[in-house]
Amino acid sequence: MNTSVTKLITLGGLLSVGLCAQQSAVAKEKEERTTPNFIIIFADDMGYGDVGVYGHPTIKTPNLDRMAYEGQKWTNFYVGAPVSTPSRACLLTGRLAIRSGMSSEKRRVLFPDSKGGLPPQEITIAEALKTKGYQTAAIGKWHLGHQSPYLPTDHGFDSYYGIPYSNDMDKVEETDHFTLAENERYQAYNVPLLRDQQIVEQPADQRTITKRYTEEAVSKIKSFKEDPFFIYLAYSLPHIPLFRSAEFKNVSLAGIYGDVIEEIDWSVGQILKTLKEQGIDENTLVIFTSDNGPWLTFKTHGGTAGLLRGGKGGTFEGGMREPGIFWWPGKIKPGVVMELGATMDLLPTFCSLAGINLPADRIYDGYDISPVLLGKGESPRDVVFYYRDTEIYAVRKGDYKAHFVTKSEYGDDPAVIHNPPLLYNLNIDPSEKYDVSGEHPEIIDEIKRILKEHQASVTPVENQLEK
């Protein structure tokens, strides 16, 4: 039996096609009015401290700030990995990347010469929602496989417009990233821009790419508005190299990096404005977050994690704790949420809100956090696993985080094993400065038990990044 048929059978368990066909016109119309739309806005390498409402003193983000004030600002929101490919796999499948073979010690992300990608048997948010009649679109950076059967249109998205991997790949000039960004030499990177599965521009003109992604999203919202929809809008910036439209050149006090963030913020404003103009804002849940922390290697071009320690590539908080903003006028209970959440929670949450049952043939690492969004309960998440590639370096349980292994984000320094592990109370010490392992051996024992139980649930699969 081929993969597509197998997946259809699996997804068939989510929704009875026969029952849907028999729905009366009245019932169907009612469902369309009440089934929410979903938009995920996913930045690339944006740090915890790069948004005004999260503390940046000189980058202006009025639209993201308004999103947070009108909706929910989560202060403990995590990704599943500190680098792009595994983090994106976690978000779209609700599962840790180790379960799909989308992490590797040898190649941390996919490259233009990679042969693998997100396996066809994985069920994405788009595929799950399509069982309920959702229209779906992927826009922006994909980085889960640049050729079929790994492209967005192979994974439940009706359309795709974006670049298939990171914007610094296919580099054809020797000049350093800093100089290229300051000179806006987009021709130095031979990155293709795809429409569905066809290249429509190469090299992609990255000076206007954020604006064009936004225009595509606005167009999709207008064309989708009569039926439930899911839009995955994954901006390819502020990942190095930095580019911005002419209207945003030298507008920020924070330099070129600030310009990039302020253009993304403007884009968020366009999305929210369009939803209101189309009269569907109160039926649309919008989430803003980032795939991992700031790329500190690039200094002022790499963003900031604020008071959090570390950045992209590592398992200190700055690498995996991200801005998490939820907006749904009239539905979400506004406020600051200090409970734990993660991008892997989005799939089960969307399915819960859309009335879809998760298939029982696989392990999910995400939780339904809709009770928190709707003000009806607490987050079911109490544990975070900090994977660096295929290994767990740290575990958070409640207030406490134990580091079993530490290593700099990038570099040749050896990994340091800690026995006993370093222990931090993240509520009191979010910067991870003060080790309290000697004071709480019982907490370390509990975290070790949780780690052992989790590791027993992981079964070997084919590694996609090493093909």
C-alpha 419/C-alpha 405 separation (Å) is 9
pLDDT for residue 5 is more than 90: no
Mean pLDDT of 394-419: 97
pLDDT, one tens digit per residue, over 204-252 is 999 999 999 999 999 999 999 999 999 999 999 999 999 999 999 999 9
Name the 3-class secondary structure at 436.
coil
Share of the chain above pLDDT 90, in %: 90
- Number of other residues whose CB lies within 10 A of the CB of residue 363: 11
pLDDT at 30 over 80: no
Q: Are 456 and 392 in contact (CB under 8 A)?
A: no
Residues with Cβ < 8 Å from 137, sequence gap 6 or more?
Answer: 157, 158, 159, 160, 161, 216, 217, 220, 224, 229, 230, 231, 232
pLDDT bin (cut points 50, 70, 90) of residue 17 is very low
pLDDT of 28 higher than 60: no
Distance CA 73, CA 327 (A): 9
How does pLDDT run across 80-109, given as a tens digit for each residue? 999 999 999 999 999 999 999 999 999 999
Task: Output the six-digit token pair for 312.
Answer: 């992209």
CA distance 360 to 134: 22
For residues 59, 60, 62 and 66, what is the CA-based torsion angle, rounded to 10 degrees? 30
In whole numbers, what is the pLDDT of the chain averaged over residues? 93
Burial classification of residue 414, based on how many CB atoms lie within 10 Å of its CB (0-12 exposed, 13-18 middle, 19 or more buried): exposed
Looking at residue 333, its pLDDT comes to 92
HEC string of 294-356 equals CCHHHHHHCCCCCCCCCCCCCCCHHHHEEEEEEECCCCCCCEEEEEEEEHHHHHHHHHHHHCC
For residue 329 the two structure tokens come to 């006028």
Which pLDDT belongs to residue 8?
46
Mean pLDDT of 57-76: 98
| Per-residue pLDDT, 81 | 98
Q: What DSSP character marks residue 396?
A: E
Domain boundaries of the chain, sorted by first residue: 3-381, 385-456
Q: How much is the average pLDDT of 51-56?
A: 98
Q: Which residue has the higher pLDDT, 29 or 118?
A: 118
Which of 274, 248, 223 has its CA nearest to residue 41?
274
pLDDT at res. 181: 82
User: What is the predicted pLDDT for the residue at 370?
Assistant: 98
Average of pLDDT values for 149-155?
Answer: 98
Q: Is the peptide bond before 420 cis (omega within 30 degrees of 0)?
A: yes
Pairing of strands 383-388, 391-397: antiparallel
Q: Domain 3-381 adopts which CATH fold?
A: Alkaline Phosphatase, subunit A (3.40.720)
pLDDT of residue 111: 98
pTM of the model as a whole: 0.94
Specify the pLDDT at position 27.
44
104 Cβ neighbours under 8 A, 6+ residues apart: 389, 390, 463, 465, 466
Per-residue pLDDT band at 14 (split at 50, 70, 90): very low
**pLDDT confidence of 180, banded at 50, 70, 90?**
confident
Pick the CATH number of 385-456 from 3.20.20.10, 3.30.1120.10, 3.20.20.80, 3.40.50.2300: 3.30.1120.10
Question: From CA 392, how far away is CA 418, in angstroms rounded?
Answer: 13
Cα separation, 283 vs 96, in Å, equals: 29
pLDDT at 182: 82
